[in-house]
Amino acid sequence: MAFEGLAERLQGTLTKIRGKGKVSEQDVKEMMREVRLALLEADVNFKVVKQFIANVREKALGQDVMKSLTPGQQVIKVVNEELTSLMGGEQSKIAVNNKPPTVVMMVGLQGAGKTTTSAKLANHLRKKHNRKPMLVAADIYRPAAIKQLETLGKQLSMPVFSLGDQVSPVEIAKQAIEEAKKEHYDYVLIDTAGRLHVDEQLMNELQQIKEIAKPDEVLLVVDAMTGQDAVNVAESFNEQLDLTGVVLTKLDGDTRGGAAISVKAVTNTPIKFAGMGEKIDQLEPFHPERMASRILG
């Protein structure tokens, strides 16, 4: 499971301070040193760590905390609050356009889990929000991507709009949205192409689709297992496409968790969902507070 190492280390560190009736500045300093190391080892971006430590130190050494009856617990509360705020604070919900359909463009590198996540999200919207989504197969380059989406659609009894792999993705997106309007679908989820690396051609095409589709959401799907790479990928996509949200996949794996903790802070783009497994129902809205509590125990 993700965060295991980090959780263990942080919990160990915080236990030392938890029961203390009196906390000295030295105690806080020592604790912060350990927290800093734990975060760096979990592959959290170093700038993010620096800022985090500075925030916690300032608050933890504040008068209210040091003079409280349970300063140890107050310090832990500060760490929890800062970790929550680092990961986005409030849960960030998926957009709803009051003039349907709400258009969601799914973007990301190949293998990140884009196609699977598109189907998972369609399933989530139908099940939890009572919506009527349509999937759009616009990844015409990866062999089998269209077929994969169609298979997932069939499994879910969910319509998949496809024009094969000979029509441009821009045209596919355009026709799909027209069809969705006609058929009164309220979400259109466009599975766009990914590549192995961020490149200009990919970005150009995605920008063209964005121009035509005017999406309410541009969701980047990133693989949490790739650590800092995930953060770099998120930065490039955000520069080019102005993302509205991130979906972190494979949080069920043994990722150290650095991506989950850094992505929001580095890109200022909220994490909206987390992929927790390969199965179609293993997608969860991302709750920063719950995630922080899970890490801190």
Residues that bind ligand GDP (CB under 6 A): 108, 110-116, 194, 249-250, 252-253, 275-278
152 is in an annotated binding site: no
206 is in an annotated binding site: no
Report how far apart, in Å, the C-alpha atoms of 60 and of each of 28, 70, 74, 82 are.
Answer: 7, 12, 8, 11
State phi, psi for 166 to the nearest 5 degrees.
-105, -5
CB of 157: closest distance to ligand GDP in angstroms?
A: 19
Contact 277, 252 (CB under 8 A): yes
195 is in an annotated binding site: yes
Q: Return all residues near 46 (Cβ < 8 A) that are at least 6 apart.
A: 40
245 is in an annotated binding site: no
Question: H helices of the chain, where?
Answer: 4-18, 25-41, 46-60, 63-66, 71-86, 114-129, 145-156, 169-182, 200-213, 228-241, 258-267, 288-296
CB of 291: closest distance to ligand GDP in angstroms?
A: 15
250 is in an annotated binding site: yes
Nearer to ligand GDP, 179 or 252 (CB): 252
CB of 114: closest distance to ligand GDP in angstroms?
A: 3
112 is in an annotated binding site: yes
CB of 276: closest distance to ligand GDP in angstroms?
A: 6
* Pairing mode of beta strands 271-275, 245-249: parallel
252 is in an annotated binding site: yes
Comparing every residue's Cβ against ligand GDP, the nearest one is 275
Nearer to ligand GDP, 41 or 278 (CB): 278
Cβ neighbours around 64 below 10 Å, total:
9
Nearer to ligand GDP, 100 or 253 (CB): 253
Contact 256, 5 (CB under 8 A): yes
Q: Whole-angstrom Cα distance, residue 20 to residue 6?
A: 23
Nearer to ligand GDP, 9 or 114 (CB): 114
CB of 92: closest distance to ligand GDP in angstroms?
A: 18
Nearer to ligand GDP, 69 or 196 (CB): 196
109 is in an annotated binding site: yes
Nearer to ligand GDP, 68 or 110 (CB): 110
B/e letters for 231-257, b = 16+ CB within 10 Å, e = fewer, are bbbbbbbbebbebbbbbbbbbbeebbb
10 Å CB burial of residue 25 (0-12, 13-18, 19+) is exposed
Binding residues: 108-115, 191-195, 249-252
Binding residues for GTP: 108-115, 191-195, 249-252
